[in-house]
């Protein structure tokens, strides 16, 4: 019964099974003054044919974005591209997507996964970034290593999305207390606001949103130098409010046939993820 309830709740946060179903959702966001990031759901593929299918979905998505003139980029996970199969195979798949994005004058964001993938994800990103400047990366504020990683990314001019982090991690790897996670998020956000290349500050946390706004104003950091990011289906009223205040707002829009296993794992993995969903069902 609980599993069925979790699946039902997850549907609110997915824009459809296909790119054709997702396009009207992105168009509506664009009309509301927001940009988007389209994510073809999927992860941890074990067969090369599944990775190839994911690549084709992203190539099609980039084509559709271009043809529909959407204000949207794409975001993907390395395990979806075959990282668990072979690093070079995964890298070659990413090259194809980055090349297609460049042809469409678009960008690609590499999502961060659990901590066992962090080092491999960053290493692969750094290799890719040498030749493809249209690719960005994600840093999770709750990891102890993130300050060092972020400093290196800032130095090379990489575009970074900063989030708290949603995976269950042990204390030796990640900060456990939310007050400390928020503190580290603020410190990393300060680095990005001062020296980053158009950082994306991904959060639904009112205290962090207010802090970013206050910090930017106090340090004369104009609104055009960064953007807020939130999830599709979460706090739409707050998203619209930030746009009205003149801030750049990007909405992360997942779609695809793999939404059930993906959200099932996210909601089952960490109780904070369930609380997040329930807390935001009726918030604006």
Task: Give the residue numbers marked as catalytic.
Answer: 111, 161
Distance (Å, whole) CA 276 – CA 31 = 27
Distances (CA, A) of 33 to 15, 29, 239: 18, 7, 10
Closest Cα partner for 128 from 81, 167, 171?
81
CB 230 within 8 A of CB 253: no
Distances (CA, A) of 212 to 135, 176, 188, 206: 24, 22, 11, 10
Distance (Å, whole) CA 57 – CA 268 = 27
Give ∠ CA 166-163-154 in degrees, rounded to 5: 135
Residues paired with residue 40 on neighbouring β-strands, in sequence order: 255
């Amino acid at each position: 019964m609980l599993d069925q309830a979790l699946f039902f709740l997850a549907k609110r946060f997915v824009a459809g099974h296909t790119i054709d179903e997702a396009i009207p959702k992105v168009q509506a966001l664009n009309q509301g003054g927001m940009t988007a990031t389209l994510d073809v759901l999927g992860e941890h593929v074990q067969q090369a044919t599944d990775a190839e299918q994911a690549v084709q979905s992203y190539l099609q998505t980039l084509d559709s974005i271009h043809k529909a003139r959407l204000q949207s980029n794409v975001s993907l996970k390395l395990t979806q591209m075959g990282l668990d199969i072979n690093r070079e195979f995964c890298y070659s798949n990413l090259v194809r997507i980055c090349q297609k994005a460049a042809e469409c004058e678009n960008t690609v964001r590499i999502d961060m996964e659990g901590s066992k993938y962090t080092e491999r994800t960053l290493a692969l990103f750094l290799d890719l970034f040498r030749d493809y400047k249209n690719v960005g990366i994600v840093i999770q504020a709750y990891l102890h290593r993130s300050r060092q990683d972020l400093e290196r990314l800032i130095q090379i001019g990489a575009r970074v999305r900063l989030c708290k982090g949603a995976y269950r991690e042990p204390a030796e790897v990640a900060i456990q207390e939310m007050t400390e996670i928020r503190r580290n998020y603020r410190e990393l956000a300060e680095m990005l606001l001062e020296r980053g290349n158009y950082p994306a500050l991904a959060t639904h946390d009112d205290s962090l949103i207010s802090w970013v706004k206050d910090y930017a104003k106090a340090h004369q950091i104009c609104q055009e130098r960064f953007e807020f990011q939130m999830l599709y289906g979460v706090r739409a009223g707050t998203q619209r409010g930030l746009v009205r205040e003149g801030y750049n707002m990007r909405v992360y829009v997942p779609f695809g046939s793999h939404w059930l296993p993906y959200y099932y794992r996210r909601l089952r993995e960490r109780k904070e993820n369930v609380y997040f969903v329930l807390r935001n069902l009726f918030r604006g």
